[in-house]
Amino acid sequence: MIPTMLHLLAHPFIRIVIALVLTMAFVGVMGLVLVYAERKVAGFIQRRPGPFEVGPHGILQSLADAGKLVGKQLVRPFGADPFLFWAAPILSLAPVVVCFLPIPFGPSLTGMQINVGLVLILAFSGLNTLALCLAGWGSANKYSLLGSARAVSQSVAYEIPLLLAVLAIAFQSGSLDLTEITLAQSRSILSWNVWVQPVAFVIFFVSLVAETNRAPFDLPEAESELTAGFHTEYSGMGFGLFFLAEYTYMIVGCAVASSLFLGGWEGPVADGHWWFLAKTFALLLVMMWFRWTYPRVRFDQLLNVCWKWLIPLGLANLVVTALVIKVVG
């Protein structure tokens, strides 16, 4: 009986299913943790305690908020497209789970080790744009519409420098598999790609902030301009799913960044996955730090940064990388 079970578990399909289920659990827990962390960071930067009342130091606050969101009535505005309106939040969260499959959390802790892992992540994270677009269109609200128009042009623009930065690393490592890229950085802290490719790291991180619609690039939501942008009309878990998706994309992005540039699971003493989580969280904290420091950029400035600075820089970086690899290697 038990050997049969093990045999079954080793089956790639079962493995993916298990990985997906674990990922869902991971996403849910991390969403709660991140919301809590974000509010604590905001509180500390603003010299107040942040959530404090639910549980010791408020650690159960996000659980209470999640309970509240689940319990709320789902309201569809008059004139909204019922199918698109409800499809959008689901479409926003569902593909992100797949993005976790190729991420190496530890030396052997990978959902599915495939040699095009990076492409898979980039492809599935692109689906989020569609969700924001549908949400804005299906809401029958002018603010949502403006928000979704912003979301689409922003995502389309920032995927390019993101890819250029990733390509430079791929050139250098000769692989699109995150595990191999991590292994290539395993010699010492100095062999991390962040030292070898600092320009690519900056481009990647800035594009990541923009891709995940985080401040100072949170234009699709821009609450002081568009009230809440694409999710203006969503209540309860409709909003909750968008919210969760935003944080999950942040985790995916920062996890990829730590594999690509910060040596992934590499680190002394502790197990690999702890190092991986620590690096991911450090990057997440930096993103939060940005959010609570900067004003929001304007839309044309946002696109100018992309088209006039990041893309030329990324291309130049790519060319230099290619040349160096040709000459040296």
Partner 1 sequence: MAMVAKTLKRLWSLVVGLEVTGKEFFKPWLTVHYPRQQVDNLDSYRGHIELVPRDDDPAIPRCIMCSRCQDICPSRCITIAFHPVENGDMAPKPLWLNPEIVSPGSRGALPAPERIERVLDRFLLNYSLCSLCGLCVQNCPVAAIRFSKHVYFCGTSREAFHLDLLERMQLGNGISERNPAACP
Partner 2 sequence: METVASRSVGDYYTRHFAAEQLVEKTEGETLILNIGPQHPATHGVLRLVVEMDGEYIRRCEPVLGYIHRMQEKMGENRTYVQYLPNMGRVDYLHALAWNWAYVGAVERLMGIVVPERAEIIRIITCELNRISSHLLWWGAYLLDLGAFTPIVYAFADRERIMDILQTVTGSRLTYCYYRIGGVSADIPSDFCGMVRDFIAYFRPRLPMYHDLVTDNIILRGRCEDIGVLSPETARSYGATGPVLRGSGVAYDVRRAEPYSLYNRFAFDIPVGHSGDAMDRYRVRMVEMEQSLAIIEQAMDRMPQGPVMAPDLPERIIPPRGEAYFAVEGARGKIGVYVLSDGSPVPYRVKLRAPGFSNLHVFAELAVGCLLADALSILGSLDLVIPEIDR
Q: Which spans of this chain sit near partner 2 (rule: CB under 8 A)?
A: 42, 45-48, 78-79, 140, 142-143, 146, 215-216, 218, 222-227, 291-301
Instruction: Please choose, from the candidates 229, 259, 225, 258, the residue with its C-alpha nearest in 3D space to the C-alpha of residue 246.
Output: 229
Cα–Cα distance measured from residue 320 to residue 262, given in angstroms and rounded to the nearest whole number? 21
Minimum gap (Å) between residue 139 Cβ and partner 1: 34
225 binds, among partner 1, partner 2, none (CB under 5 to 8 A by kind): partner 2
Q: How many chain residues interact with partner 1 (CB under 8 A)? A: 13
Q: Going by C-beta distance under 8 Å and a sequence separation of 6 or more, which residues neighbour residue 6?
A: none
Contact between 326 and partner 1 by CB under 8 A: the answer reads no
- The number of residues in the chain equals 329
Minimum gap (Å) between residue 153 Cβ and partner 2: 10
Residue in the block written with tokens 């991911």: 280
Q: What is the largest CA-CA distance in the chain?
A: 64
Rounded alpha-carbon distances, angstroms, from residue 53 to 49, 61, 68, 309: 10, 8, 16, 45
Candidate ranges 46-54, 57-65, 184-192, 237-245; the one touching partner 1 (CB under 8 A): 46-54
Out of 45, 64, 196, 322, point to the residue binding partner 1 (CB under 8 A). Answer: 45
Comparison of 58 and 104: residue with beta carbon closer to partner 1: 58
Out of 18, 25, 44, 308, point to the residue binding partner 1 (CB under 8 A). Answer: 44
52 binds, among partner 2, partner 1, none (CB under 5 to 8 A by kind): partner 1
Question: What single letter denotes the amino acid at residue 324?
Answer: V
Instruction: Please choose, from the candidates 169, 164, 328, the residue with its C-alpha nearest in 3D space to the C-alpha of residue 263.
Output: 169
**Contact flags string 47-66 toward partner 1, x per CB under 8 A:** xxx--x--------------
User: Helix H segments across the chain?
Assistant: 2-10, 12-45, 61-71, 82-99, 117-125, 127-138, 142-173, 178-184, 193-196, 198-211, 223-226, 236-261, 272-291, 299-304, 311-328
Candidate ranges 7-15, 117-125, 140-148, 287-295; the one touching partner 1 (CB under 8 A): 287-295
Q: Which residues bind partner 1 (CB under 8 A)?
A: 41, 44-49, 52, 289-290, 292-294
